[in-house]
Structure 1
Amino acid sequence: MKLESIPNPIILQNFTTESGALYNSIPLSFALFGLPLHSAPIILVNHALTGNAQVTGENGWWNDLIGEGKTIDTNKYSVLAFNVPGNGNDSFSIENYQDFTTRDVARIFLNGIETLKIEQLYAIIGGSVGGGIAWEMLALAPNITQHLIPIATDWKSTDWMIANCFLQEQILNNSSKPIEDARIHAMLCYRSPESFKEKFQRTINQDLLIFNIESWLAHHGNKLQKRYQLASYKLMNQLLKTIDITRNGEDFKTLMLKTKADIHIIAIDSDLFFTPKENQETFQELKKFKDNVFYSEINSVHGHDAFLIEYKQLDNLLAAIF
């Protein structure tokens, strides 16, 4: 697998957010994998809340899906991934997280694509908030991609999602251990009751004399605290809360009639965060006026995080596209 080294990020000058906040300079760092840019079809991969542009290779968070001979084969494609500015993977930090919405990040990514002289992508794929950014990109630029593949996400944040993000925000702003405590709550949304039952069976950690589920949650909180910045968590949570392609504009049908892209919605049957029912409703709405829309489900006890776990199912669902 060839990784193209990118010496410098793209610098966006005088970017005004939807809320009217002016940023004189925003660095947009990114990574390229596979074949050289413009020599092969290009796939954009949008990362999730605590992810980054390192989608494959050493420390790649989607190695099961992307790489040489994998579903998204780096011998066939150019794979591009941006870091959400402020996600903590460079020196740039955003303290006023409420300045930004998911649409702002979609605009930033589209700006990056234009700077790289990319006229059209073969596919945009993303899970969770990364998929929400993908929906927003398609709404802003209907001809930007041939395939949209939103996984474990939707084109809008539901009341349930907004409620959980509100609780996350309260924890992040008020807790004495904000990252750890927010992560512990989030893990309850990323997994499912059945997943916990299968994994822990009410067993006790004999060293700590607490339930293994408790020590596991504490471990995940501590682990994230060591590698993640508070400002980044607040920003990414804000993005998760503000997915809505219809905000301040046209309705869903009007926006989606503008695109010829194939839309492949992939839900998870046990997802407590972006529920399959919401995804099915989106699919049924699209089917009323669009033929090239497809719906599939990952079957898993593991809830929202199944898109990072059930790679064999994901491989089967994506094989025809790639």
Structure 2
Amino acid sequence: MQQKMVIDEITLECGETLKQVEIAYEACGILNKDKTNAILVCHALTGDARAVGDEKTPGWWEGLIGPGRYIDTNQYFVVTSNVLGGCAGTTGPASVNPETGQPYGTDFPVVTIRDMVKLQYLMVRKLGINKLLAIIGGSMGGMQVYEWAVMYPEMAHLIIPIATSTRLSAVAIAYNDVGRQAILCDPEWKNGNYYPGKGPVNGLSIARMLGMITYRTAELFEYRFGRRLKDERDVTHFDSTFNIESYLRYQGQKLVNRFDANSYLYLLKAMDSHDIGRGRGGIEAALERIQARVLSIAISNDLLYPADHQEEVVKMLRAAGKEVEYHFVESIYGHDGFLVEFVKIGPLVEQFIEKYYSSTFTQSAAPR
């Protein structure tokens, strides 16, 4: 069920303080008497709090989470929140600045992955949860998972980072900047002060089209679209359209209808700046702080978050004496595999959580 909470204030890494911060979240299942069955879900770049959804509007991870699913909401209390800087109910650039009565636009302060996690922490504590059973997320959500484990090591028994990294690679930053420039070069961006107008819809659409190319694989595109045309026009016509072109344009328009361009820019910046070793003496020193058991899942052919990076982190964790389980999942979908390959990923997640939960909380597992 979608809900909203207000946090009185939060001080960000940049030094600025936001007051009366709204945070939209979804809570599914029942928190047991001892509050030992809570799982936090962290979403990716254009995700939101609706991970599970309902029959009318399924969530973006409903293939993984729900009644009778791999993360069973009949057994676990699952919470997902929209990130700080987002545009689906949580305070972000499109929100009204209480000091001016106008949308923040680019006056909104720079946010980081750590700021997102800090707000989630305040939400979790306000829900009365002192320790989470597990924290799970893929892509940008996985970045949040790692930050949770480093910032609040005592707050989770298990963490499950999927298709992600402890810092963004140069090539991923490069792709992000091309998408960013598409938005900034759209004359309708107006330096971020386009409200109440639609804003740079063409730029945002192109940014999304580029993103879709990086999320999936050449093999999948060839299989699904090849060189097939959308209509009967001869390929020599100037306005003939290939199916792959039509697909990308559709995805671009689809995002424009539900996402704010400024939020897209702010979240890209948060991803670019993400590095759990920043200011902590490096990645290895940061990983030393982790107390939770780790399930790391990498996806084959992931252009943005290559498996070898996760394997490197797994080696660091093992060298530090941490309990870590690693799996490499083959997928034609590439990075988007974490949103699609439920049959492959689901059992790994289910077994990892259930094994720990049943052996540790057998007496207090039953919901009220």
Judge same fold: TM > 0.5, yes or no. Answer: yes
User: 1:18 — aligned with what?
Assistant: 13
Among candidates 45, 67, 82, match of residue 41 of structure 2: 45
Among candidates 141, 157, 160, match of residue 146 of structure 1: 157
TM superposition shift of 1:24:
2.4
How far apart, in 2, do the equivalents of 1:275 and 1:231 lie?
Answer: 28
Distance 1:37 1:171, change over 3 A: farther
How far apart, in 2, do the equivalents of 1:134 and 1:237 lie?
Answer: 17
User: 1:302 — aligned with what?
Assistant: 333
How far apart, in 1, do the equivalents of 2:332 and 2:186 lie?
Answer: 31
Indicate if the aligned counterparts of 2:288 and 2:317 stay in contact, CA closer than 8 A: no
TM superposition shift of 1:231:
1.7
1:30 aligns with 2:18: no
Indicate if the aligned counterparts of 2:145 and 2:159 stay in contact, CA closer than 8 A: yes
How far apart, in 2, do the equivalents of 1:137 and 1:243 lie?
Answer: 13
Distance 1:192 1:98, change over 3 A: farther
**What secondary structure does 1:85 align onto?**
coil
What letter matches 1:307 in structure 2?
F
1:110 aligns with 2:141: no
Residue-by-residue CA offset, 1:257-284 (whole Å, 9 max, x unaligned): 2332111111101100101111111112
Of 206-215 and 296-305, the range deviating more from structure 2 = 206-215
How far apart, in 1, do the equivalents of 2:316 and 2:85 lie?
Answer: 34
How far apart, in 1, do the equivalents of 2:285 and 2:262 lie?
Answer: 36
User: 1:313 — aligned with what?
Assistant: 344
Task: In structure 2, list runs of 5 or more residues that go unmatched.
Answer: 94-104, 188-201, 233-238, 354-368
What letter matches 2:42 in structure 1?
N
Indicate if the aligned counterparts of 2:169 and 2:304 stay in contact, CA closer than 8 A: no
User: 1:272 — aligned with what?
Assistant: 303
Indicate if the aligned counterparts of 1:150 and 1:264 stay in contact, CA closer than 8 A: yes
User: 1:85 — aligned with what?
Assistant: 84
TM-score (norm 2): 0.82
Aligned-pair Cα RMSD in Å: 1.8
User: 1:217 — aligned with what?
Assistant: 248
Runs of at least 4 residues off by over 4 Å: 37-40
Distance 1:291 1:141, change over 3 A: closer
Of 37-46 and 76-85, the range deviating more from structure 2 = 37-46
Bigger Rg, which one? 2
1:59 aligns with 2:84: no
TM superposition shift of 1:98:
6.1
Residue-by-residue CA offset, 1:20-73 (whole Å, 9 max, x unaligned): 222223212211101136555110000111111111123311111001110000
TM superposition shift of 1:12:
3.4
Residue-by-residue CA offset, 1:84-135 (whole Å, 9 max, x unaligned): 1332112733233661111111111112122222111010000110110111
User: 2:132 — aligned with what?
Assistant: 121
1:170 aligns with 2:215: no
Identity of aligned residues (%): 30
User: 1:189 — aligned with what?
Assistant: 214
What letter matches 1:20 in structure 2?
G
> How many corresponding residue pairs?
317
What letter matches 2:44 in structure 1?
A
**What secondary structure does 1:99 align onto?**
coil
Of 254-263 and 72-81, the range deviating more from structure 2 = 254-263
TM-score (norm 1): 0.93
Indicate if the aligned counterparts of 2:291 and 2:322 stay in contact, CA closer than 8 A: no
What letter matches 1:305 in structure 2?
D
Distance 1:258 1:85, change over 3 A: closer
User: 1:99 — aligned with what?
Assistant: 110
**What secondary structure does 2:265 align onto?**
helix
User: 2:71 — aligned with what?
Assistant: 72
1:259 aligns with 2:287: no
How far apart, in 2, do the equivalents of 1:310 and 1:103 lie?
Answer: 28
TM superposition shift of 1:148:
0.7
**What secondary structure does 1:32 align onto?**
strand
